[in-house]
Amino acid sequence: MKAFQYVRANTAKSALEALAKDPSAQFIAGGTNLVDLMKRGVTAPDKLIDISRLPLNKIEKVANGVRIGAMSLNSQVADDKLILEKWPLLAQALNAGASAQLRNKATVGGNMLQRTRCGYFYDTEMPCNKRQPGTGCGAKEGYNRMHAIFGTSEHCIAVHPSDMCVALVALDAAVVVQGPKGERTIPFTEFHRLPGDRPEKDNTLGKDELIVAVTLPDSPYTQHAHYLKVRDRASYAFALVSVAAALELEGKTIKSARLAMGGVAHKPWRLQEVEKALVGKTVSEATFQQAAQQAMAGARAFEYNAFKLKLAPNTIVEALKMAAGLTA
C-alpha cells in the first residue's frame, strides 16, 4: 500500500482539528475494514488519524435509554449486561456479525461506516461508481448474488453489510455526531442513504464530522425479539438476508412491532409500514405471511439474486415466529 502518515488523537476535539487541517485524512478506529481497503488499493489516504483511544467507549444508562460510545467494541456491547437485558436484539445482531476476533476489534462507529462488500467495489480493475464515480456499476449486469433488491439505482446495487445496524435501525436508534459547529443527532433511519446518483456517499455524516455515540430509547422489546441471519455458512459470512424482528405483545395481540432487514439494500431496511399494519393483529403464521408480502412491495431482483424475493419474505416470517415464540 501507499505510505501514509499516522497520528493519534486523544480527544474528539483534537481528532476533529487534525481532520480539519487535512481533509484528505481518514479516521481509523478498529481498522477491520479500512486496512483491507487500503491493502487492496480501494482507498489510499495520505494520513490516518487514530481515534481508537478516544474516551468514547462507555455504555451508559441515560434518561429514557442508553448511550453507547462510538468507540465501544462490538463484543463489549454484545456482552453488556444492560444491553442484554433491555436490548437483546442488538446483542443478537452483533453476535451474528463477523467473527469473535473481529468483534473484539471493531467499534460501533466503525461498524456503521464499513463499506459494502461488493466484489466490484474491491477490485480496482473493475467498474464501480461507488469507488470511482462515473465508471459504471459492474454488479448490475455482473455477479450480483449478494446484491440489493430494494432502493437500487442504475448507478449502484450494493448492500450495506452490517448486522448491528439492522438491529439499531429497528430499535429507533439515533447517531450523535460532533463537528466543528458542535453536536447534532441523526435518526438512524436517516444515517445511511440509498445510492441514487451519488453511490460514493454511503451516509449523511459530514466530511468534517465524527460519530461520538449511538443512543437507544427504552424499548418494550425485551421478551419478543429475534435477529435471524441467513447466510452461506454458519458463521463469518455476510447475510444473504437478515431480519430484525421485535414484538410487544399483549397476550396474542401485537401492541407494537419493529421490523428491519439486512442484505437487501444500500442501507439497513426498516419496514415501518409493515410495523404499523401488524399493530392490533393476532400473532399467527398467517399474520406474519401477510406482513412479509407487504414488506416485499417494490422489490426488484437482478440475474443472480432473484432468490432473495423468496428468501426475504420467508426469513421475515421465520424471524417473526421466533420473536413471537411460535417455533421451537
Partner 1 sequence: MKNKDERIGGRMSRVDAQLKVTGAAKYFAEFEVPNLVYGVLVPSTITKGTIKSLDTKKAESAPGVLAVLSYLNAPKTPAYQTDEPSKTSSGRGPGMKAFHDNKVYFNGQPIAMVVANTFERATYAASLVTAQYEKSSHQTELKSNLDKGITPKSKSLQDYQRGKKDAYQTAPVKIEAEYIQPTEVHNPMELHGILAQWEGPDKITVYAKTQGVKMTQQVIADTFKIPKENVSVHSQFVGGAFGMSLRVWPHEIATILAAQKVQRPVKLVITRDQMFTIAGYRPHTHQKVGIGANKDGKFVGISHWANVQNSNYEEFTEATVGMTRFLYRSPNVNTTYRVVPLDICTPIPMRGPGEATGAFALESAIDELSYALNMDPIDLRMKNYPEKDPEQDLPWSSNHVREAYQLGADKIGWSNRPKEPRSKKENGMWIGYGMATGTFGAHRREATARAQLKADGTLLIQSAASDIGPGTGTAMVQIAAEVMGMPADQIKFELGETAFPYAPIQGGSATVASVGSAVHEACMALRQQLVELSGNALKKAKVDTLVYEEGRVRSPTDRSASIAYTEILKRNNLPMLEVTKEAKPGEEGKKFAMYSFSVHFVKVHVHPTTGVVRVKHAVAVADAGTIVNHKTASSQMMGGAVGGIGMALQEEAVIDHRYGRYINNDLANYHVPVNADIPDIDVLFVDKKDPYINPMGAKGLGEIAIIGMAPAIANAVYNATGKRIRELPITPDKLI
Where do contacts with partner 1 occur on this chain (CB under 8 A)? 1-3, 41, 99, 117, 119-120, 122-123, 125-126, 138, 141-143, 145, 228, 230, 232-238, 240, 307, 310-311, 314-315, 317-318, 327-328
Rounded Cα gap, residues 201 and 95, in angstroms: 27
Q: Which is nearer to partner 1, 125 or 250 (CB)?
A: 125
Q: Which is nearer to partner 1, 3 or 63 (CB)?
A: 3
DSSP run (H or E) holding 165: helix 164-170
Least distance from C-beta 98 to partner 1, angstroms? 9
Least distance from C-beta 271 to partner 1, angstroms? 18
Q: Which is nearer to partner 1, 219 or 305 (CB)?
A: 305
Q: Which is nearer to partner 1, 5 or 11 (CB)?
A: 5
Rounded Cα gap, residues 328 and 325, in angstroms: 7
Least distance from C-beta 21 to partner 1, angstroms? 25
Least distance from C-beta 121 to partner 1, angstroms? 11
Q: Which is nearer to partner 1, 194 or 309 (CB)?
A: 309
CA-to-CA dists, residue 97 to 11, 14, 62, 129, 224, angstroms: 29, 31, 27, 26, 21
Least distance from C-beta 78 to partner 1, angstroms? 16
Least distance from C-beta 141 to partner 1, angstroms? 8
CA-to-CA dists, residue 210 to 7, 59, 68, 214, 311, angstroms: 16, 18, 14, 12, 36
Q: Do residues 18 and 7 touch, judged by C-beta distance below 8 A?
A: yes
Q: Which is nearer to partner 1, 85 or 303 (CB)?
A: 303
C-alpha closest to that of 238 among 123, 114, 132: 114
Least distance from C-beta 77 to partner 1, angstroms? 21
Q: Do residues 67 and 25 touch, judged by C-beta distance below 8 A?
A: no
Phi then psi for 206, rounded to 5 degrees? Answer: -70, 150
C-alpha closest to that of 19 among 200, 201, 211, 213: 211
Q: Which is nearer to partner 1, 141 or 154 (CB)?
A: 141
Least distance from C-beta 145 to partner 1, angstroms? 7
CA-to-CA dists, residue 304 to 51, 255, 315, angstroms: 39, 38, 18
Identity of the amino acid at 324: A
C-alpha closest to that of 169 among 157, 183, 187: 187
Q: Which is nearer to partner 1, 197 or 232 (CB)?
A: 232
Strands 241-250 and 253-262: antiparallel
